[in-house]
Amino acid sequence: MAVKVLVVDDSSFFRRRVSEIINADPRLEVIGDAVNGKEAVEKARTLKPDVITMDIEMPVMDGITAVREIMKTNPTPILMFSSLTHEGAKATLDALDAGALDFLPKKFEDIARNKDEAVSLLQKRVGELARKRLFMRVPARPAVSTATAATSRPLTTARTTLSTASATTQTRSAPARPAARFKATGKSYQLMAIGTSTGGPVALQKILTQLPANFPYPIVLVQHMPATFTAAFAARLNNLCKISVKEAEDGDVLRAGTAYLAPGGKQMMLEGRPGNGRLRIIDGGDRMNYKPCVDVTFGSAAKVYHDKVLSMILTGMGADGRDGSRMLKSAGATVWAQDEESCVVYGMPQAVAKAGISSEDLPLDRIAERILIEVGLA
């Protein structure tokens, strides 16, 4: 059965173009469109699409308000379209806060090398987001808490798996158990590194806002994001977090309690020595699929910090981070992956988990807890 899509935009040209691209994939089908947010809310209720593409600036009701209303009444995976401007970045981040799962630039050819790649990119994003539909349905009856769901399976010895089950499969009769307590491995660290893509802005915000100002290590962050978005995202995180967060600059000296976000369109590399590392920001490179690239940053971290890195791969499409994580593991570093149920797209974490690189698979809502225990702050 084809994935059902609702296209929302006040531009008839853009609605038609997006619909043509989506309908060109036999696995996808546009079942309707809307010209403003109010109409989108109503059609989300009546048509029950699997995925919605949503513009931000529209008359009557804007896209951000529409996302909030849809997530209250008919939770549905939503892909936002936004302009590649600083204001567009801020609005897109607001939409993600409201419940949208992903975004693409309004001129999505801007982040692709050719027209065919741009078409494929949109089709893939819609198809991947459709997989989250099951986990976003409003439960028909009361469900157990996510803390209880997270402990519905025992810890394994070779790999820790604490998955949050879908609310649709939980019932009132499920036994209530206290959340399993993590145990620190006893390893020492001098750096934390996180790589992510689709769904990453929300995931990073959830984790970083729970870290204390006295976090003992510097943190490097690689989020697949356009160049005009990373400065706004870093500023947003800095306002929300107790730690400091900044867009990385060439020559930055890594300091404890500060997170450095790789700038969009560039590559972030580490150099120096453990305890005295610094950043090199270089050109993204025409041959690189991702700018920034998790593999580049993680690989350089392995060469500088060796086994003193606590790293994790969060939600995202593709396999970026697998090779860099393998280099970290070979150096003796720790690698974790976000679990499937809590990912927006289980691509990057799956690549690491399937390769046997990650030592633990963790639900998003317990990653910060796991970090604090591991570094001796809880």
Residues carrying an active site annotation? 197, 224, 320
Spatial CB neighbours of 311, under 8 Å, sequence gap ≥ 6:
192, 193, 194, 195, 298, 301, 325, 328, 333, 334, 335, 336
Alpha-carbon gap, residue 378 to 375, rounded angstroms: 8
34 touches 76 (CB < 8 A): no
Residue 301 has phi, psi (to 5 degrees) of: -65, -40
Torsion sign, CA atoms 350, 355, 356, 359: negative
Per-residue CA distances from 279 to 237, 297, 325 (Å): 20, 10, 19
Alpha-carbon gap, residue 119 to 114, rounded angstroms: 9
Within 164-314, strands assigned E span 191-196, 219-223, 244-247, 258-261, 266-273, 276-283, 309-313
- For 80, counting Cβ atoms within 10 Å of its Cβ (0-12 exposed, 13-18 middle, 19+ buried), the class is buried
- Helix, strand or coil, per DSSP, at residue 324: helix
Spatial CB neighbours of 114, under 8 Å, sequence gap ≥ 6:
none
Alpha-carbon gap, residue 146 to 166, rounded angstroms: 9
The single residue listed with the structure tokens 């699997």 is 50
Structure tokens at 345: 């797209």
Query: Pick from 322, 370, 321: which is nearest to 342 by CA?
Result: 370
Sheet holding 309-313, edge to edge: 160-161, 360-362, 334-338, 309-313, 191-196, 219-223, 258-261, 244-247
